[in-house]
Amino acid sequence: DVRHGPILYLEDVSVSFDGFKAINNLNLTIDDGELRCIIGPNGAGKTTMMDIITGKTRPDTGSVWFGSRHNLLALSEPDIASLGIGRKFQKPTVFEALTVFENLELAMATDKRILPTLTAVMTAEYRERIDEVLALIGLTGLRDRPAGILSHGQKQWLEIGMLLMQKPRLLLVDEPVAGMTEQEMERTAELLTGLAGQQSVVVVEHDMGFVRSIARTVTVLHQGSVLAEGSMDEVANDPDVIRVYLGE
Ligand code: ADP
């Protein structure tokens, strides 16, 4: 494990919707280069937590830090993204009529630091980055095919690749293996574990087999706060976790 201290730090974060505490004194630290899985029953606050990190939802209280310098609560959603926080939603949203290569090319343009010089950026450096990402996501052989012909799993990898184009420091990934075949799940495990170390990856996932296959540390959310944290075996044997998952 490559660990370089915390990259993301949530302290005493709470948010209510119409008086209902969706996030309740949440404390979470993600280390640089770490791959963390977040699990928890429906309504535990996983989506809201991701929304808070990306600036989509603002907490009522608490603080959210990225690296040692960036108070995310003081930044807009696009500015948070520009710091290198990428989010992958559950459903793939690739441009089906464009080729795999063109999708990756386009992904660079969403970085507003690059947009003004887009016509100039198709330099060797960027083509190299596309080739690198194609290799990472295992789609080199399909680079000139329309994204519409890809399997569900391949579309998910392409979308992860689109996020990787901008070399994010932190990737937030929502249920990456939902709807995937066993083989696609194995390939996704390799992809995500391979990415960790280069960047931090936070994965929200329901599939426990998959979580077990990738996670070193698992955080269990329940009623908006951390119920348990540790290795998969530690949390799976935690009486509180068993109670929550099997019902009270
Ligand atoms: P999870 O992703 O773990 O299933 P969520 O973060 O989606 O949990 O939801 C946590 C709780 O907050 C749920 O009870 C949900 O109904 C509620 N909630 C989330 N977003 C809103 C919102 N915008 N308005 C009202 N309630 C919300």
> 174 C-alpha vs ligand 1 centroid, how far in Å?
15
Q: Is 233 exposed, middle or buried (0-12, 13-18, 19+ CB in 10 A)?
A: exposed
Residue nearest atom 20 of ligand 1, based on CA coordinates: 48
Q: Which is the closest atom of ligand 1 to the Cα of 50?
A: 6
> 231 C-alpha vs ligand 1 centroid, how far in Å?
26
Verdict on whether the full-model pTM lies above 0.95: no
> 97 C-alpha vs ligand 1 centroid, how far in Å?
34
Q: Which is the closest atom of ligand 1 to the Cα of 51?
A: 6
> 158 C-alpha vs ligand 1 centroid, how far in Å?
28
pLDDT at residue 93 in the model: 86
Nearest to 139 by CA among 103, 171, 168, 173: 103
Query: Digits of tens for pLDDT over the chain (248 positions)?
Result: 444 689 999 999 999 999 999 999 999 999 999 999 999 999 999 999 999 999 999 999 999 999 888 999 999 999 999 999 999 998 888 999 999 999 998 887 655 555 555 555 566 778 889 999 999 999 999 999 999 999 999 999 999 999 999 889 999 999 999 999 999 999 999 999 999 888 999 999 989 999 999 988 999 999 999 999 999 999 999 999 999 887 75
Residue-range domains of the chain with CATH: 6-246 (3.40.50.300)
CB atoms closer than 10 angstroms to residue 121: 16
- The yes/no answer to whether this complex scores an ipTM above 0.85 is yes
CB atoms closer than 10 angstroms to residue 49: 27
H-helix or E-strand containing 202?
Answer: strand 200-204
pLDDT at residue 127 in the model: 84
